[in-house]
Structure 1
Amino acid sequence: MATGLLTDETADQIVTTCRTAVGDSLRSVTYFTRDDFEQLYLRDDLERDADLTSFIGHEWRGFKTAQTAYEGSELGDYEYTIRVFENGFLIRVTTDREGVFATTDGLTVKDFEEVAIGLESFLGERNRE
C-alpha cells in the first residue's frame, strides 16, 4: 500500500514489526509526522470511523509535552507512551520527526515493550539516514 509518506516496503515493515510483537491483538497502525499521517493497518473487524486527525494532533503534542516535562529527570529519557482505554490500548513511539501509534486488544507489559523496541529501532534507523 503506497502511502505517499512511506514506500510500500517501509509501510509493510512497520506493520510487520507490530504484528510480530502482538499478533492478532493488533487493531491498527498509524504512521505520522507533524504535518501528515497515514493509517497503515486496520483489522478487518473494525470500522474506519476514528478521527485520526484529532488523534495525531493529540499524540504529537503529547510527545512534545512529555519529552519536555521529564527532560533531565531521574527517570531518564522519555521512551514511549501506553494509553489504556475501555476497549483496548494505544502505544505511541515518536522521534522528533515522525512517529507510529498502534492500537491493540489486551496485552502484557512485555508485549508493549516488544512493540516499542521494534518501532524505536525502526525509527532510529530512519533518522540516521
Structure 2
Amino acid sequence: MDAQLLSDDLADQIVTTARTATGDSLRSVTYFTRSDFEQLYLREDLERDADLDTFVGHEWRGFRDTSNAYQSSELGEYRFTVRAFTNGYLLRVTGDRRGVLITTDGLQMQSYEEVADAIEKMLAEDPTSE
C-alpha cells in the first residue's frame, strides 16, 4: 500500500458517514480496490492484527460471485451484503472497481441500508474513481 488510494476528504467523509449511521457500534472501515486496500478506521478496543489482505480478497471474490449469480434476479440489481458473525456484522458496499467494508456490532437493518445508500452515492460521485 504505497500510494494513497483515495483522498483524505473522501476517506473522512466515508468514516464520518459510517460513524453517524452506526454510532458506537462501528468497529472498522476499510476501503478497497481490486488490487489494494486501506483501513480507514479501527475502533480503539479492537486488535490490529486482522489479516485484511485475505479478508478483502474473499470479499472481492464474493462481490463478483454475487453479482454474477443474481444478474437477472427478479429481486432487482444487487446493492450490498450484510454478513453476521459471532462477534459482529460486516457490510460490504462494492462497485465494479472499488468498495467499502464496514464492521459493526449489531444494528437494525435500516441503519445498514442508510449507510450503504450514502457510501454508494459517495463512490459514484468521487471524481478520482479508477
1:65-120 CA-to-partner distances (Å, cap 9, x unmatched) read 00010001101100000000001000000000100000000111011111111111
1:34-84 CA-to-partner distances (Å, cap 9, x unmatched) read 000000000010110111001110010000100010001101100000000
Q: TM-score when scaled to structure 2?
A: 0.93
Which residue in the other structure is 1:72 paired with?
Answer: 72
Where structure 2 has 5 or more consecutive residues not aligned to the other structure, the ranges are none
Tell me, in whole angstroms, the C-alpha distance in 2 between the residues paired with 1:61 and 1:127.
25
Tell me, in whole angstroms, the C-alpha distance in 2 between the residues paired with 1:59 and 1:127.
24
Would you say how many aligned residue pairs link Structure 1 and Structure 2? 127
Which residue in the other structure is 1:121 paired with?
Answer: 121
- Please report the RMSD computed on the Cα atoms of aligned residues, expressed in angstroms: 1.4
**Percent of pairs identical after alignment?**
64
Q: TM-score when scaled to structure 1?
A: 0.94
Tell me, in whole angstroms, the C-alpha distance in 1 between the residues paired with 2:127 and 2:52.
24
Residue 6 of structure 2 contacts residue 128 of structure 2 at CA under 8 Å; is this kept in 1?
Answer: no
Which residue in the other structure is 1:83 paired with?
Answer: 83
Where structure 1 has 5 or more consecutive residues not aligned to the other structure, the ranges are none
